[in-house]
Structure 1
């Protein structure tokens, strides 16, 4: 291993991995999943040396275990139950679950196969490792870091001087960060810059940094949860994926931990299931694809149609945001809802070179395909086009006949 270990704590993942993880532990412990890495950049190539470093970094990550101090911290999160925290005392990543080769157009192929309980936890650290290896080994890292620091200072100045108003915002950039060093620098400086600002820095999705800097860990659910909970059982109608997933979530958390993700198989089909009970019990909804203004207005109309006061509900935006986009959305919606933002790459990897567009997605559950059909063409991912066509037909049937 040429670089220092990139992931040094099992807390170094996004909070929603624990909230989904507890639901999986209690309700889907036998489910098995396959996760597949994809680089969407057409002009990026990983060298054999990078692939070997990534393999070594993942092997080092698999040697980690939760410390007693980390378990105590997790036990203090209101909605995490003691039996799940005790399970984490025994849990650790398994290197044999990974297959890492150079057999891909971009030079890097990664698959992870295991129980959903295991493999769900691999996504975020793997992407963080891939990013940092690429930027350290493909560029002059110190030069990139200097450009990152300059841009970070400009962001902090805008916060300090109240040049913009974001309302409540959080940092969501772990999976695509320049480096662990860069992300920590951002948390430290943005926390300080927002102290006397009109914008409120709520916290970070990175549980390790949330603990270190005594700020809130932030996150609820991801697309994988709705894909697997809704499509992992062949006895279920995949067009009702949202209903199966939201029902399981309410059984796990009741009114706690309640931001629902709307776009896994399209927002219009989500609204078919997001009726009075779910819309009342969930504190809000998250946008991650499609036009954010159209989405926000649609959600407000939906709450109105159910007789729910939309001003009591949160609209959380998290799709490719920067400060200007977030400020414009805040200005548009803040009189009609609680508005919040999860800002990722713009905070954690804004340098003079483009950030990578990499993902690691669930492609199979219990031996058959699962799919995401995003509100933005091109954001979905599935190995089996026939299954995608089947799912699209079931969604079309439901939208046209219910």
Structure 2
């Protein structure tokens, strides 16, 4: 058990963590952040879990960007400039930034340090927790042959629906090996509607362009620095300052979609290629988005919505049927690809809880379009809602 590394590449992470890291280094190099592990599913952890988790994080401190990985990034991600790649060349995980305590069957964990450094921890730690949990609880999964059949069946459904799909399943995957197997099948049988993976390491292995843009923490930090009202708008403007027209998908639900659309002015709506839906009723959101574009005389059929909220073939069928000839839907499918192998999925998250934009720590919140997905202290959630008149 102790010799096996669950995360064996610096790039085994979601692509948007690197695009955000690059932006943080350039715009907020001195900012600090705190993150917390939230056990939404109230999972109970076996004895020694905390110890084995720490051992895995120690091994991560040995990971370094290889020269082949750098060449891959230069070729497939040209908007990540050489100064950032030089930073990544020197970057190593520091396990001292992560505190883990196990009390009986509960795990508590927080991460703290420079935002430009700590931003990379969340996804690999979640992948490690997931894989360790299934290993230590003796969870039995279906065979590789069955995984192959199941994944091919899903692909046939997506092909019939004539939709574009991507793979977003790193953080709650069953295991590294299952993830790799699923991607192999997607590569072999998903052409041309499979558009890529959000995992940078597998994108490198399979020589494909990674997909993804930014996460909620980007906007949550902006709220800590500039206030809730303007966080969405300033976060998008800052994104454009770094990436121009590249990586042009705007995240719509950090402070609910209604607040997002108020911030998504004509200029931003024109420049960004589309928006990402991550919570709430997807059809209602599609209607809102189409109306929003029409208000600015922008033809929605040229714009995209990336749907990424807990998808499966049935949901994709409903959403794509509604969007047909109205707007371009793209589907980022996570756990339904990388953890649909028998045992129930884990319901865990790691979220930014505080930010230090300048001199003092500020508690951050995410409101989301559904109550269950909101995070942050109750008093701050109350303040955010009051400020935004929600």
User: Where on the TM-score scale, by shorter chain, does this alignment land: which range?
Assistant: over 0.9
The ranges of structure 1 where at least 4 consecutive aligned residues each deviate by more than 6 angstroms after the TM superposition are none
**Alignment partner of 1:144 out of 134, 141, 146:** 141
**Alignment partner of 2:368 out of 374, 394, 400:** 374
User: In 2, distance between residues paired with 1:161 and 1:349?
Assistant: 18
User: In 2, distance between residues paired with 1:89 and 1:180?
Assistant: 24
User: In 2, distance between residues paired with 1:168 and 1:60?
Assistant: 37
Corresponding residue for residue 279 of structure 1: 269
User: In 1, distance between residues paired with 2:339 and 2:88?
Assistant: 30
Q: Does 1:173 align with 2:169?
A: yes
CA displacement, residues 320-359 of structure 1 (integer Å, 9 cap, x when unaligned): 0012211221121031111101000000001222100110
User: In 2, distance between residues paired with 1:165 and 1:316?
Assistant: 16
Deviation at 1:315, TM superposition (A): 0.8
Corresponding residue for residue 22 of structure 1: 22
Contact (CA 8 Å) 1:157, 1:193: kept in 2 or not? Answer: no
**Alignment partner of 2:214 out of 205, 221, 229:** 221
Q: Does 1:232 align with 2:230?
A: no
Corresponding residue for residue 45 of structure 2: 46
Closer, same or farther: CA 177–80 of 1 in aligned 2, 3 Å: same
Task: Report the secondary structure of 2:332's partner residue.
Answer: strand
User: In 2, distance between residues paired with 1:163 and 1:9?
Assistant: 32
Corresponding residue for residue 66 of structure 1: 65
Contact (CA 8 Å) 2:277, 2:306: kept in 1 or not? Answer: yes
Corresponding residue for residue 208 of structure 1: 201
User: In 1, distance between residues paired with 2:314 and 2:129?
Assistant: 28
Q: Within 5 Å, which residues of 2 pair with 1:78-157? A: 78-103=78-103, 107-140=106-139, 143-146=140-143, 149-157=145-153
User: In 1, distance between residues paired with 2:148 and 2:288?
Assistant: 34
Count how many residue pairs are aligned between Structure 1 and Structure 2. Answer: 385
Contact (CA 8 Å) 1:79, 1:253: kept in 2 or not? Answer: yes
Closer, same or farther: CA 166–226 of 1 in aligned 2, 3 Å: farther
User: In 2, distance between residues paired with 1:98 and 1:162?
Assistant: 40
Closer, same or farther: CA 50–281 of 1 in aligned 2, 3 Å: same
The gaps in structure 1 that reach 5 residues or longer are none
CA displacement, residues 277-313 of structure 1 (integer Å, 9 cap, x when unaligned): 1101100000000000000010000000011010110
CA displacement, residues 158-182 of structure 1 (integer Å, 9 cap, x when unaligned): 4347774251100000000000000
User: In 2, distance between residues paired with 1:136 and 1:164?
Assistant: 36
Q: Within 5 Å, which residues of 2 pair with 1:261-276? A: 261-276=251-266
Deviation at 1:149, TM superposition (A): 4.8
User: In 2, distance between residues paired with 1:162 and 1:10?
Assistant: 32
Once the two structures are overlaid, the 10-residue window that deviates more, 82-91 or 174-183, is 82-91
Contact (CA 8 Å) 1:262, 1:270: kept in 2 or not? Answer: yes
* TM-score, structure 1 normalization: 0.92
Task: Report the secondary structure of 1:108's partner residue.
Answer: strand
| Aligned-CA RMSD value | 1.6
User: In 1, distance between residues paired with 2:209 and 2:235?
Assistant: 25
**Alignment partner of 1:193 out of 174, 189, 196:** 189
Deviation at 1:239, TM superposition (A): 2.0
CA displacement, residues 363-393 of structure 1 (integer Å, 9 cap, x when unaligned): 00011200000101111111x2211111111
Deviation at 1:137, TM superposition (A): 1.0
CA displacement, residues 239-268 of structure 1 (integer Å, 9 cap, x when unaligned): 211012111111111111100000001000
Contact (CA 8 Å) 1:79, 1:257: kept in 2 or not? Answer: no
* TM-score, structure 2 normalization: 0.95
User: In 2, distance between residues paired with 1:64 and 1:292?
Assistant: 39
Closer, same or farther: CA 374–323 of 1 in aligned 2, 3 Å: same
